[in-house]
Amino acid sequence: MSKIITGTPVTSGLGKLFNSHGLAKKTVVLFDANTRKLYGDSILKTLDEEGFQWVELTVPAREASKSFNSAYRLYGNMIEADVDRSWNLLAVGGGVVGDLGGYIAASYYRGIPVIQLPTTLLAMTDSSIGGKVAINHPLGKNLIGFFHLPELVLIDPSYLATLPEREIYSGMAEVVKYGFISDRAFLSFIDNHFSDIIALKEPFLTKAVKTSASIKAAVVKKDFRETGGLRATLNFGHTFAHGLEKLAEYRHLRHGEAVTIGMVCALFLSNRLGYLDNGSLEEGLAILGKFRFPRGVIRRRFRDIDNRLLLENMLSDKKKLDKKLRFVLLKNLGEAFLLEESIDDEVVLTAIERAQAFYSALSVKR
Ligand SMILES: NC(=O)c1ccc[n+]([C@@H]2O[C@H](COP(=O)([O-])OP(=O)(O)OC[C@H]3O[C@@H](n4cnc5c(N)ncnc54)[C@H](O)[C@@H]3O)[C@@H](O)[C@H]2O)c1
């Protein structure tokens, strides 16, 4: 499994760390335009000080960079720079850079090591850990990829200081998710310190990041290829979220925002099917009610949507498989499971309706 290191500055002593993990000090550093501008000079300076040979590459800061075209261009840059199998790749950025960098590392010269240096809350707590790397195809997201575990994951929560608030809430969705699926005490901690974490206050931020990362790593370790149903529980709220993201054309809703709404739906579904009691439902909803969205987003991207249209879009991903939606549900706060049997459409539609009513009531209260 990958070694996860958390600290500030996490890059101090990088040369020694690479040596001790059998990594050559020959590194392709991949940024997106934002992380290059914000952190590029200081990271490259550290690499110089630590005696690294490096090549820097930058892609535009957008989801479209996770494409075959940009991978193809980067392969060319690497070949021209004489990068061979003895090199490795350091991905500095959010999930886009991490997924693209991991994809390139998994395929270049039949595979070179990848080191993840996540700079968004989502990447620190989720996408940089677990080795799923992919690019998108025009027919679907994350369809072309590999399982390629990073040698190292280097997490420095101080990088989050420059992250826009919308991105912080988006990453926070995954943090809360870990509490819901596997750790009741962590969920209470998040509930008690929600605004501290959003405000990036220490020690709350680091505890939230570290606990999330370790829950993800533990799940991945037990069920790497998602064969046992355990890794699937990381998709709590995601069945609804994928439909919402598709309807929002992958542009108007951040992934974490869709997951937040999806978790509200999944709580109602767990309750409706008799797994989650009313008290736990209310407690869960109170936490999810703390999330803020840009003005109009909830109304346009969820409340105004016909629940049948959302269900259709949730299903459209599955058309070529078995047309069966898979739901992760809660038995308790802190205990998730993958429901094997299929559920009546009407039950799913009711859960969506109740979630829409929840957000309508919330907007009246505010
Ligand atoms: N591999 C996995 O297991 C996994 C899991 C979840 C999501 N993902 C993927 O992750 C991607 C989303 O990742 P994301 O939410 O991190 O988005 P992102 O990579 O697009 O980053 C969001 C924005 O924040 C900017 N940014 C990054 N770090 C910053 C910093 N420190 N300060 C200021 N701005 C900064 C980026 O340039 C970008 O504009 C999606 O492509 C999704 O498919 C992968």
Q: Is the CB of 145 under 6 A from ligand 1?
A: no
CATH 1.20.1090.10 domain span(s) along the chain: 164-365
* Domain 3-161 = CATH 3.40.50.1260: no
The response to whether 80 counts as a known ligand-binding position is no
The per-residue pLDDT for 364 is 80
* C-beta neighbour count of 252 within 10 angstroms: 15
CA-nearest residue for atom 9, ligand 1, is 95
pLDDT in tens, 258-272: 999 999 999 999 999
* C-beta neighbour count of 283 within 10 angstroms: 16
The response to whether 252 counts as a known ligand-binding position is no
The response to whether 211 counts as a known ligand-binding position is no
* Domain 164-365 = CATH 1.20.1090.10: yes
The per-residue pLDDT for 365 is 74
Residue 148 near residue 114 (C-beta atoms within 8 A): yes
Helix segments in 108-228, DSSP class H: 121-122, 165-182, 184-192, 194-198, 204-222
CA-to-CA separations, 127 to 79, 133, 157, 217, 324, in angstroms, rounded? 27, 9, 15, 11, 26
Q: Is the CB of 127 under 6 A from ligand 1?
A: yes
Where in the sequence numbering do the catalytic residues fall? 110, 132, 174, 216, 226, 231, 235, 238, 242, 255
The per-residue pLDDT for 315 is 87
CATH 3.40.50.1970 domain span(s) along the chain: 3-161
Cα(347) to ligand 1 centroid in Å equals 33
Atom of ligand 1 nearest to the CA of 132: 1
Cα 75 off chain centre by: 25
In angstroms, the CA 328 to CA 229 distance is: 10
Radius of gyration of the chain (CA): 20
Q: Is the CB of 159 under 6 A from ligand 1?
A: yes
What residues in the chain have per-residue pLDDT under 50? 319-320
The per-residue pLDDT for 318 is 54
The per-residue pLDDT for 140 is 85
Q: Is the CB of 238 under 6 A from ligand 1?
A: no
Cα(93) to ligand 1 centroid in Å equals 7
